[in-house]
Amino acid sequence: MKNEQDRDSAKGSRDTTGQDCSKEKYHKLTIGAAYKPGTKSRLDRIRYAMKDFMVNRRSKSSEKLGQISKVSSQPMTAERAMVESRLEKVGTGQKEEPMPLERYSYYHGCLSRLDAEDILSSVPVGHFLIRASKRTKESFAVVLSIHTSTNIAHYQIPVDDSGKFYFNEFAFDTVHELLHFHWKQRVPISLLHDNEVFLVKAVDRPDWLFDDNEVILEPKPLGEGNFGAVYRGYVMLGGRKIALAIKTLQNPEDKHGREELLKEARVIRRLKHPNIVWCVGITVSSEATMVLLEFITGGSLDKYLRKNMLTPTTKVKLLLGVANAVEYIHKNEVLHRDLAARNCLLVLANDRPETVKLCDFGLSQEKVKEYQLTVVQQIPVRWSAPETLADRLWTQKTDVWSYGVMIYEFFSNASLPYFEVEPFDGKILLHYLKEGNKLRASKDMPPDVVKLMHSTFDLNPALRPNMTQIVATIQTILKRMPK
């Protein structure tokens, strides 16, 4: 499909190049040294490394941090030309001005701790990245995240009274000089459970991390999300202009909102399926977090169903797309917990429905087959299974129940489920369902689809079909329907 082709052509397109500092400065701490060598041989080794480092720093040859690039590969700009001009002054007696940390490809901006762990969990021990972490409303700390032999560790890089950075006995003017010394001279940055932690190789920013200034937002919002407005926008990726739906955080100080927004992006980013919306990336250059999703032309499915008449065959084809997506996430141990027509986006081709994409993973849970809510949280009551209403319990079979409610929506022009129940709340609906009541099938719902929908509403979760069985059933139904 076209959207998949766009994704494949864009992936891996932002490569990086650059050079390392050929002159380094160091300062030995006289107070507050964090590193105390355990043996004299270790101290002698570090001092020898410093002597060798001072000799080598005068060499004209440059080295990279584990083959890490230094400056993003971008068209020549006035800013970059000025930087390269400064580098050319090395060896001429003129003082080299330091490169801003933000221009190194191992700097990941305000990347969250969990996203850093997600990146580093798939690389070898000793691989690391640099990120910023907010300390107060006005200040940030520089953090080194590294894959160690036991876990993913995070070190806030200390700054001494003179503004120099250090890990243990030696301080440097810049973070890059600090990293370069510990990497090149094999000096450990710390002891972790009696194991020395060494820098082996820096990790480049992945192609799903963007700076704020790379994203263009249209001024008028498309709508409201859980934590802020949703805007249409664009980003250039792989030489292509990618249309976006951009979820924003209304209050940058909302720590919980930021964590939830990034969690949703993390879940979608791991899912690669033609019937699931593509997470293009996130912004990390500041705390003003944005989640960048592919823009889908047809908008939300519930709104489309209310305004347009579709044939039963078209509806069943779209239901198959949703079923394929839910089957996929269940195989990857993800519970959606909010399946509904409003959380599906319609892809149009020549103004006609082509396929559907599952979106809005804000309530989803990863790496679980069962989840029980222990805190107060709003839930989609009308789409919830009896065990969810009674015990705040979610499983793959509760997603199946919600899928059955979606079948009702598809054939009722997205009517409100259980509109006949008045007054309405969770307890009343639970009682209504336990009495054996079910959603009523519309007149145009094929008998086989009615049978499938009712099977998803069995009060006993074990007797409900799983999503693989549902996919197979819909495929069989489609073969019998007119084209």
Q: Which residues are annotated as a binding site?
A: 247
Contact status, residue 23 vs residue 75, Cβ threshold 8 Å: no
Kind and range of the H or E run holding 192: strand 190-192
Residue 50 sits at the vertex; the CA angle it makes with 46 and 56, to the nearest 5 degrees, is 135
Alpha carbons 157 and 163: distance in angstroms, whole number: 12
The SS3 of residue 302 is helix
Alpha carbons 377 and 364: distance in angstroms, whole number: 13
* DSSP secondary structure code for residue 31 in this structure: S
CB atoms within 10 A of CB 453: 22
How long a stretch of residues is the chain?
A: 483
Alpha carbon 458 to its chain centroid, in Å, reads: 35
Kind and range of the H or E run holding 328: helix 312-331
Tokens of 280: 């293009």
CA distances to 164, 240, 300 from 291, rounded to whole Å, are 34, 19, 18
Alpha carbons 406 and 474: distance in angstroms, whole number: 14
Alpha carbon 456 to its chain centroid, in Å, reads: 32
Residue 292 phi, psi (nearest 5): -105, 110
Burial 405-423 (b: 16+ CB within 10 A, else e): bbbbbbbbbbeebbeebee
Q: Which of 135, 388, 179 is nearest to 396 (CA)?
A: 388
CA distances to 76, 100, 372, 458 from 465, rounded to whole Å, are 58, 57, 21, 9
Residue whose pair of structure tokens reads 């960048």 in the numeric block: 292
Which residues, 6 or more positions from 443, have their beta carbon under 8 angstroms from its beta carbon?
none
Sign, Cα dihedral of 86, 91, 93, 95: positive
The SS3 of residue 100 is coil
Alpha carbons 139 and 132: distance in angstroms, whole number: 10
The strand pairing partners of 165, in sequence order, are: 159, 172
Kind and range of the H or E run holding 335: strand 334-335
> Omega before 252 cis (within 30°)?
no
Tokens of 40: 């004299």
Extract the annotated binding site for ATP.
247
